[in-house]
Amino acid sequence: MAPTTASARKAPLHILVVDDSAMVRQALAAILGAAGMRVEVAADPIIAIEKVRRARPDAVVLDLEMPRMDGLTFLRWLMSEADPVPALICSSLAGPGTDVAMQALETGAVGIVTKPQLGVKGFLLDSAEQLAEAVRGAAHARVRRRAAPPPPRQDASAVIPPRARPPLTTTTSKVVAVGASTGGTEALRELLEAMPPDAPGIAVVQHMPELFTGAFARRLDGLCRIEVKEAEQGDRICSGRALIAPGNHHLAVRRSGATYLVEVLEGPPVSRHRPSVDVLFRSTAQAAGSNAVGVILTGMGDDGARGLLEMRQAGAHTIAQDEASCVVFGMPKEAIAGGGACEVLPLPKIAGAVLKRSS
């Protein structure tokens, strides 16, 4: 056993340098290599993740400001692994006492080296001995696994700010806002196929990947008596038309005089989705008030529950699909529990109720 232990002690430390600056990668590789370490480099955290998975390093030297993924996000991933890797932050952003330095230490970094904004190469070379010692210390640190925090949950305020005053209701035009997720493609087909050519204008959010919504809209357009199209910026919501939110974009209803338009918006995911039903429902509540009907169909999660309540509070009639006809009774269940649904109906009866309430 003794020879094996001795040889293990002589094995060079395996260090991974993650920095988007080629000059920094080259300088650190030279400094740490001269100190007897085996150095790998990665230009961004995505590349680094693959290298860590292939061969766990003894330590990571990590910049914070990088493309594709920032250093803190990568550090959270590193610390959430079953065998977390010690990380030494080497960044110009992490000055003593800065918020980002505190966040890095709280996330699990074992130390911080602050690079200057200018003269970085000279600083690294002048600090070679201290850097090598800091990296050795990091490599021998014992770090504990930390659960990755859930991503921050955004509500509709991230895209549609709350409105203090009620919307004007001088127009008699009606708007129907519909939200759906798991099982929603067939539920929407049944709902829209039942609509007559003079049905009120409809805006739809269906959770669906980008590039699929256009084909979905074209399929429905061929089956329905109303026009169905993927929404574009400024499209009018008018009688005999349904607009489907494009994938990876929010859909919002806006009032323009006596007519309604849609806006196709960027913005963060809301209720973990983009497009989000909550964004559509909130914007409809603000733009149309009691001139709207809200419908929440089958789906997993709770997207739309808060927005449907806002629609009801603004005077809209709101409908939730019942459990028996849902593929997944998640979104309607949450909307009902939150008080957002005026009535709960089986899917075959929803079209009739929408037409009655919007006549």
Residue with tokens 């493609």, as numbered in its chain: 185
Q: What is the pLDDT of residue 10?
A: 66
Q: Is residue 34's pLDDT more than 90?
A: yes
Non-local (6+) Cβ contacts of 37 within 8 A are 12, 13, 14, 15, 132, 135
Other C-beta atoms lying within 10 Å of the C-beta of residue 222? 8
Torsion of CA 288, 289, 295, 299, to 10 degrees: 90
Residue with tokens 């733009």, as numbered in its chain: 287
Q: What is the pLDDT of residue 171?
A: 55
251/275 Cα distance (integer angstroms): 7
- Rounded to an integer, the average pLDDT of 262-278 is 92
Contact 329, 323 (CB under 8 A): yes
Non-local (6+) Cβ contacts of 33 within 8 A are 39
Q: What is the pLDDT of residue 150?
A: 57
Reported as a pLDDT band with limits 50, 70 and 90, residue 280 is very high
352/144 Cα distance (integer angstroms): 59
Asked if the domains at 13-139 and 173-357 fall in one CATH topology, the answer is yes
Give the burial string for 122-154 (b: 16+ CB within 10 Å, else e): ebbeeebeebbebbbebbebebeebeeeeeeeb
Q: What are the residue boundaries of the structural domains of the chain, listed by start?
A: 13-139, 173-357
Q: Is residue 8's pLDDT more than 70?
A: no
CATH 3.40.50.2300 fits 13-139, yes or no: yes
Reported as a pLDDT band with limits 50, 70 and 90, residue 20 is very high
**22-34 vs 128-139: helix crossing angle, rounded to 10:** 80
Q: Is residue 41's pLDDT more than 90?
A: yes
Predicted TM-score (pTM) of the model is 0.60
Comparing CA positions, the residue from 316, 247, 242, 234 lying closest to residue 276 is 247
Class of CATH domain 173-357: alpha beta
Comparing CA positions, the residue from 258, 256, 281 lying closest to residue 334 is 281
Least confident of 156-170, 188-202, 218-232: 156-170
Is 80 assigned a catalytic role? no
Q: Is residue 169's pLDDT more than 50?
A: no
Length of the chain (residues): 359
Least confident of 30-34, 148-152, 303-307: 148-152
Q: What is the pLDDT of residue 153?
A: 63
Q: Is residue 1's pLDDT more than 90?
A: no
Other C-beta atoms lying within 10 Å of the C-beta of residue 36? 11
Token couple for 107: 């996330």
| Greatest C-alpha distance within the chain | 89
- Rounded to an integer, the average pLDDT of 154-168 is 65
List 58, 91, 181, 283, catalytic entry:
181
Is 14 assigned a catalytic role? no
> Which letter does DSSP use for residue 65 in this model?
S
List 44, 63, 278, 303, catalytic entry:
303
Reported as a pLDDT band with limits 50, 70 and 90, residue 155 is confident
List 58, 63, 207, 278, catalytic entry:
207
Mean pLDDT of the chain: 88
Is 303 assigned a catalytic role? yes
Reported as a pLDDT band with limits 50, 70 and 90, residue 65 is confident
Least confident of 7-21, 205-219, 243-257, 317-331: 7-21
Comparing CA positions, the residue from 274, 299, 240 lying closest to residue 320 is 299
